[in-house]
Amino acid sequence: MANKVRLIFVVAACCVAFPAYARDTGKEARMRETPFGVLEFLNWNSAWNSYKYADQKSLEKAAALMRQAGVQWVRMDFLWEDIEPRRGEFSFVKYDRIVALLRSKNIKILGLLDYCAPWACGNAGWNRPPDDDESFVDYARKVIRRYKGKVEYWEVWNEPDSPVYWEPQDGLKRYSVLLRKVYLEAKKVDRRCKILNGGLANGLVSLNHLYDNGAGPYFDIVNLHYFENPLREGALGAVGSVPRLAYTIMERNGDGGKRIWITEIGCPGIDKGAPETDDWWLGKNPREEEQAEWVKGVYETLLQDEHVARVFWAFFRDCKGHWNNGVDHFGLVRWDFSRKPAYWAYQDLTHGKKKPRRKIPGEI
């Protein structure tokens, strides 16, 4: 009888520990995958980003709110120009602090190895490939070695298929060469690490380009970015269709065993009382309550797909005058760290609740 009681207790505890989305799938592996992530610019501390995280206090505030929301993954830059501002001179102080803080909150990291240090691309621009691939590979090698055992997932560049982040565009040919070199070196440094391709802004077309360029063996996880306007009829259907179509491409190229991560998806949430804000690139800015409904719909839709392992909401915190349109309001929390309805919707999802929690008067 005692053993039977203990068994009942263990089963009951497991049912409480895992959120409803995991129980509904009936797949033990999905329970362990902790799919809830966010993109956040925790390394930003410059005039061009309004000194978003200018001190340790603001970082600690963000990390505490992430923890409370149930955020289990953070996608963040490990910028080359920060870490190696001059050739051969490396500084990890800023990133050591951020990594330690997130680990103290049991939040895992997807690290972005990205953008060209000015000295490495002839001052042609941060969005240019390096003049010498080995200089980027050396930076990547040192970062991966530094955080071995602390960061296991690395993404090579951000949106290399977008002219905003990679110039000149060539159908990912040049990028595929760099990806291969970083992948091979990364596995030497940390054989357990996982490499993601740079999140693709032009999803399906660009995924085909990667395979056509022979890059398939040099990423462990397929990484996609895409956005839909939640105010458009049929938008959730479109959200669900992208990973299904991506998987057909993967399977056709012998990659059916890999998983898909969506490392950027989101929309603005504008408070009714906020100053007038220019629309984002997909049209009219959603209101905060509409953003909250979109958070719920996006996660519930994507997590029904057995091939989608993780979804990162962009962003965790609003920005201040960076894009000068609705994109500044992608956050789950506002610039002042007060929580939006989307924050509560996200929290309810991570805790397995079906209805978004409403803000309590006087609560931030």
Domain assignment present for 146:
yes
Condensed to tens digits (0 to 9), the pLDDT of residues 61-79 reads: 999 999 999 999 999 999 9
Domain assignment present for 6:
no
Share of the chain above pLDDT 90, in %: 84
Domain assignment present for 13:
no
The CATH number linked to 274 is: 3.20.20.80
Domain assignment present for 10:
no
Cβ contact 131:118 at 8 Å: no
State the residue for tokens 């990028």. Answer: 175
Domain count of the fold of the chain: 1
Q: Which residue has the higher pLDDT, 361 or 275?
A: 275
Euclidean distance between CA atoms 170 and 201, whole angstroms: 14
What residue type is 281 in one-letter code?
Answer: W
Average pLDDT of the residues in 281-304: 97
Residue 74 is predicted with a pLDDT of 98
Phi, psi (rounded to 5 degrees) for 199:
-45, 130
Condensed to tens digits (0 to 9), the pLDDT of residues 306-330 reads: 999 999 999 999 999 999 999 999 9
CA angle 221, 15, 293 (to 5 degrees): 60
State how beta strands 73-77 and 194-197 pair: unpaired
Domain assignment present for 74:
yes
State the residue for tokens 């291969």. Answer: 180
Domain assignment present for 243:
yes
Return mean pLDDT, the chain. 90
Domain assignment present for 139:
yes
Q: Where are the beta strands (DSSP E) in the chain?
A: 36-39, 73-77, 108-113, 153-156, 194-197, 222-225, 260-265, 308-314
Residue 15 is predicted with a pLDDT of 39
* Structure-block tokens of residue 320: 């201040």
Euclidean distance between CA atoms 191 and 107, whole angstroms: 22
Residue 361 predicted with pLDDT over 70? no
Q: Helix, strand, or coil here: 137?
A: helix
Domain assignment present for 306:
yes
Give me the domain span that covers residue 301. 27-350
